[in-house]
Structure 1
């Protein structure tokens, strides 16, 4: 989950000095998506990029850095909401999240029908119907799904649903906390968000720099190292 990604990278993110921190120059969700797309794009180019000087650990860490930013943005958005705004947002979005939880339970029950240990885990997730239960269920379903990909692939599972579960588990947990009246320091969480953005941007920029260098005469590969958001 994104929270775990942030906790894994918390030390180097928070260690960034104020003069190093960049303010996002594009929507954060676009930054995260571009980083995740870049991670997939760069895989086939390792043999050409490493000899050109790219530290492949930057590529390996890219999903973690993207997840850390996703989580930091969710926390800052939570803190920026008034209690009334958070309650309204929860009222609008939580029915879809509850429905997604039920859909995933339905899918998993079918996919795991011949595995009693997995069926028992799904049954345990199904119990409890509170708001916090639902958010924890989405988290647990994400982890369970990622651990059992072949069984889900066998039923033609739509993996976008699991990505949505991951997103809502983080974002709606923040909204619910605010709706329940918890108080937060918005300035502190904004600084952390900006640091997480900077930490992701450092890796993305370095990977793109090497990609543009290596593929400067190969338009088919070069295009994958350009920001789609800024290009459009």
Structure 2
């Protein structure tokens, strides 16, 4: 029987209540992308259900993964709830936030790689990861921009696009201006954020062993085995920023 994400959350809430905050782990990518990748991974397992059962997978536990996805989706939506006084501001926020999430993910993964031998910078990256609210996210964008701008040599050695560093600061300013006019921001609730992160932790710790099992089951079919992974998102090409002429501004205003 089909269920809603809210019903999925209520079904697993007792498991979240049993978890400690110290048990929370990161899914290592923007959460909304992890949700979709998780569902795709489950669909692949379902296609090979009989074989996986023959290879000793506990399918009763595997069948609960969509419920954990639904719970995480519900809590992610609740935590992401933000209201604006007009539709245009909300549209701008969603577009900029989406771009910024992918950009920050790219910057942080790159930082982990190029500064792996620098404990000071690795420590600063860890501090940047600590925040969870929209305000924290906006500050993180600028913090990592400053950190990379002040330590560019390792980035240049891998020919990293330094325009990404500047873009992070620009998006930080844009999102900050938009957040300032928001009439509701649920991301400021620490209790809600903890509940969300517990749900994602439960999903990850349930899904990862099943994916490992599936890769083992199909280890002699390497191309098929490689499909049982949760892949990180790819950034879309950055659109060039152009200044609007007065005529363009007037035209865009007249269309509202």
- TM-score norm. by structure 1 comes to 0.53
- For 2:44 and 2:185, how far apart are their aligned partners in 1? 41
- For 2:88 and 2:61, how far apart are their aligned partners in 1? 36
For the residue of structure 1 that corresponds to 2:216, the secondary structure is helix
- For 1:3 and 1:90, how far apart are their aligned partners in 2? 28
Corresponding pairs, count:
142
Correspondence 1:220 to 2:223: yes
User: 1:194 and 1:215, CA in 2 relative to 1: closer, same or farther beyond 3 A?
Assistant: same
How far 1:50 sits from its partner (Å)? 2.5
* CA shift digits 1:150-201 (9 cap, x unpaired): xxxxxxxxxxxxxxxxxxxxxxxxxxxxx77697861111101100101111
Look up the match of 2:42: 39
Q: Mind listing any 5+ residue stretches in structure 1 that lack a counterpart?
A: 94-178
Look up the match of 2:166: none
Look up the match of 1:15: 18
For the residue of structure 1 that corresponds to 2:26, the secondary structure is coil
Look up the match of 1:24: 27
How far 1:4 sits from its partner (Å)? 1.4
For the residue of structure 1 that corresponds to 2:85, the secondary structure is helix
User: Which has more radius of gyration?
Assistant: 2
* CA RMSD, 1 decimal: 2.8
How far 1:228 sits from its partner (Å)? 2.2
- Normalized per residue, which structure has more helix? 1
Look up the match of 2:168: none
- For 2:229 and 2:194, how far apart are their aligned partners in 1? 27
Q: Mind listing any 5+ residue stretches in structure 2 that lack a counterpart?
A: 92-181, 236-256
How far 1:12 sits from its partner (Å)? 1.0
User: 1:18 and 1:59, CA in 2 relative to 1: closer, same or farther beyond 3 A?
Assistant: same
